[in-house]
Every structure is written in C-alpha cells, then in structure tokens.
Structure 1
Amino acid sequence: MKRKRIGFVQMSMILFVVIVLGSWAYLIIKNDDLFEVFNERNLGFLDNFIQKMFGKGAKQIAYTDKSRWIEVLKLTVDTIAMSFLANGLAMIGTLITVVPAAANYADGRLTGRKNWYGKIIFVIIRFIYIITRSVPELVWGMLFIFFIQAGVLPGALALAVHNFGVLGRLCAEVVEDVNVKPLQGLARCGASNSQILMYGVFPMCFKKFLYYMMFRFEVIVRSTIVVGAVGAGGLGLYFKLRMSAMDYTGVTLVIMCYLIVVYLTDIVSGKLQKMWNC
C-alpha cells in the first residue's frame, strides 16, 4: 500500500505552524519578563492615557471644537491629495516597466520574438522593484526630506517609490499569467510588439491592474500617517505634533479623521471594483 504523500499546501501549513510556535517559544525563552508588559502599573498608564484621549482633565477638548475640525479637515485634503499623487506616480512607473519585467516577455513567449537584451532588461527592472519595495516608506520619506522642502511632495514621492516596487511585481505576475496563444496569433498575423502589447496584453490585464491600483491606494492612505511623521505634511505631521505637545484630545481627533477617511476609501474602492468587475 502506497503512503499518501504530503502536498505542497499541507507542508506549507505545517512549516507555518512550526515557525510561529518556534518564534513565540524563542521570545518567551529569551525574554523572561515578556508578560510583565501587562502588569498592573502599565495597565494603569494605559487606562490613564485612554481617559485623557477622551478629555479627562483637558481644558479644551479638540474634537468638540469647530475650528480644530476645520483645521484637521484641511490637512485631510492634503493627505488625500498625497495619496492620489503617490498612487498615480506609482501606477505610471508600473505601466512603463511592467511588460519588460515579465518573464514571458523576456524569453520571447509573449510576443513570439526573442531579443538578446530582453533578459538583461528583465533582471535590471526586477532588481529595481526589489530595491524600491524593500525600503519602507518611512525611510524613503526621510531621504526625500533631506533635499526637498517638507510638505506633501516628499511624502507622495516616498509612498510612490515604495509602492512602485510592489505594484510592479504584482502587475508583472499578471502579465506572466496571460494566455500567450492569442498574442502569438497576432504576431503571426504581422503585428508589431507595440501592437501586441496595446491590443493584446493590456486589454487582458487592465482590470487586474485597476484592482491592484485600488488595493494599493487603500494601503497608501493608511501609510500617509507614517511618512507624515517625518515632516511630509498632512495628518501624519499633525499627529506627531499633537503627540509631542501631549494634546491627547487632538490625537483622538486625528484618529477619528483617519477612521473616516479609511472607511470612505474602502467604500469607494469596493464600489469602483464592482463597477469595473475587477
């Protein structure tokens, strides 16, 4: 009787469980006081912080002040503008580089024509994707702040560069998964590479490109608070300033605005995906 072989999925799940349990065991052994984080003293600090966020002992509560709401809503507009600019720049870069970054284009299967430089360009672009997505948005933001005046632009560039690497990799995999037979048929009919890409590849991939673009836009909106903390403007910078000033109700106001923005973004993104049948 043959033994039943363990499949790839089952083996992956087993390895995942082993790694998770092993990492927790390592932390517990390495840090004897790991669970001391939840001692009575720390829980008291947490309780006091939460009460202050909701106005305990505050002379003026930020989220009940109309002028503060107007101030924060203006910064919210800057945050949304930063997100749109970042997503647009990342998507433009992706559309320009995504086809040469696909393995089936590099080896000639996509168009039926193999070029000697295809694999060289493939390796270079994939390496750029790795570099840009490996460096976090916060680090890119700190780098751009050095030579660009603090504001929305360095934050947008930081988010765009990081998400360019992520979107590029995702969209390149979409191109690699397309059915190449219709494209090879176009090639046999005399279509040029640009015509094959324009009338074959992009129509088949565009919906998935839009889906990934909307997905990354949601992530970018959430990440604006991170790059804002290094001086890139928007709600993130305001959040940092309120924390520095120990304006706890101001922090609550920023969190409330973020929740509203993220909630509306999720709703709009879902509606657009349904409209485009992504």
Structure 2
Amino acid sequence: MKIAEADRLAGNDFLLRAMRNYHCYYVDPAPAQFRPAVMDTTSFLFGSQLADNVYYLGYLNLAAYAIRTSDGLVLVDAGGSEEHGRKILEWMGKAGFKPADLKWIVITHEHFDHFGGAPFLKAETGAKIVAGADAVSGEGEAQKLPASLLPLDLTVKERTTLKVGTTELVLLPTPGHTKGTISVFAPIEVGGVRRMASFWGGKGMRPNVKDLREMVRSLAVFTAESDRLKVDVPLNTHSWGDATISRLINMSLVPDAPNPFVLSKDQSQKNLQILERCTSAYLDAVEAGSITRGIRD
C-alpha cells in the first residue's frame, strides 16, 4: 500500500517519478536497473554550477557540493578518497579560489565515501570540520571519523546554526543511516533569487528495525524543518537515482532554460512524502521478515 501511495504521489511527473524510484530502491518490487558504483570516478560533470553559488563536485553516484558564501566556500561532504580531495582542491584553483577560501567542511555522516577527502583538504586549506556528535564514536573503524579530523571544530548535538559570512546554514541531527548522520539546510541563489537547499544526510537503508525506526523519526524532523524553511532545492549526496545527472546535463545543453533543481511547493512536499512512504515500506518489510539482508547495498 505504501509503495502504491508513493506511485500515486509521483503520478506522471518525470522528476517525482525519478525520485520515487530513488527513494524506493531498497524495497521496490522492480528496482532501477542502473546503479553506478559509489567509487566510480567518471568526472565529466565535476565542477558543474547548478545554482548561482552552488557547484557539483561529484561523480555519477557520489556527490559533494561547494556553496559559495561572502566569506569563502563551504563543502557539504568531501568525497571518498584523498584523490577526490585533491580533485576538489584542483577545481578550486581553476575556479579562482585560493586554498584558504575553503572555510568549512560539513560531513553528513561517518562513512568513508563522505569524509575520505577531508583529511587532505583540512591539511591543505586549514578548513574547519563539522560533523554529528555520534560520528566520533561510531560502530567500529568502518563507521567512525579518523583521528586526523579530530577534535571537531563544531560538533552537532542538536539543531545548530553555522554562520559563514552572511550565510546561515542549519545543521540538524537526523540519525538512522548512521548514529552521527546530520542533514544540512542552506540558503542559496538561483538566477539572483533566494532559494533554500536541503541535503538529506543519509540515504541508504539497512535491514535493521531499530535504525529504520530512527530514520522514520528523523524524517519527520527533517520534513518539519524543510517546511519551516520552505525548501525548494532538495539535493542528494548520492546522485545516481534522482535525475541529478540528467538535470546537470540538461543545464549544460540548454543553459537558458528554467533551473531544473528548483521544485514547486507541490513537488517539494510530494518528494518528502514519497521518501517517507518508501522508508516506512522498507521498515514494514523488515519487521515482517520479508527482507533480512541488504541485498541491494
């Protein structure tokens, strides 16, 4: 029923259908056939500008974003390797930024593909590191920030505002994907118009009832904050399934078309509703015992 409700919400809207497939991937009876490897470094879109002050610094699946503020750059995630960090630094130079212009690196959660480039970038630029409080302890070495990033310059234990120049980002604990997952809200500009971007901190679902219940609770908090801040540019740190790549390509082909990353109010609300239905459907399946392992991880 919940998958059917997600289908109904998506309707015939191309973007919402893509997001429905993305959100429901783990529980969909007919999952998407195409899913690039996380560490696939195909980089033909690296450095694409998706808004006046937002740059895509990722590959086909793994994303990082740079937000330009009046006092330098903020990174949302830092790539999955030192090589990725080096590529970000190289892009900065080509784009006219100095190493010292990188002020903050926001790590959405304690998985290596989101912080792998951060130790290098911290050493090369002096950027400060912010992450969730529970990202420090982790669950074994595979889910813990490395010592080279500690102590954190800012630890997120509750809803936190990070001011960089005139830009105020909101950092929100949203555990579920990992204990230390945080989500990010950032005011941006598109065609000179102020918009609000959001980054849902942890996408992947694991067949663990406790974590999935926590993810559903976090989604409610994330949705309430999205409504309060009037989010209309939802972005994802894994970009393979929600048409991020095709939207970036379309922007390069037809640069004077309306920005495809700006959603209507109806689309924004339905996107979050679809995400909730898909996550809840996965929880139902795990509780019923019909999914017992992460066969699509």
User: Whose RCO is larger (CA < 8 A, sep 6+)?
Assistant: 1
The structure where helix makes up a greater share of residues is 1
Q: Normalising TM by the smaller chain, what interval?
A: under 0.3
**Structure showing greater Rg:** 1
Give TM-score scaled by structure 2 length.
0.23
The structure where strand makes up a greater share of residues is 2
Give TM-score scaled by structure 1 length.
0.25
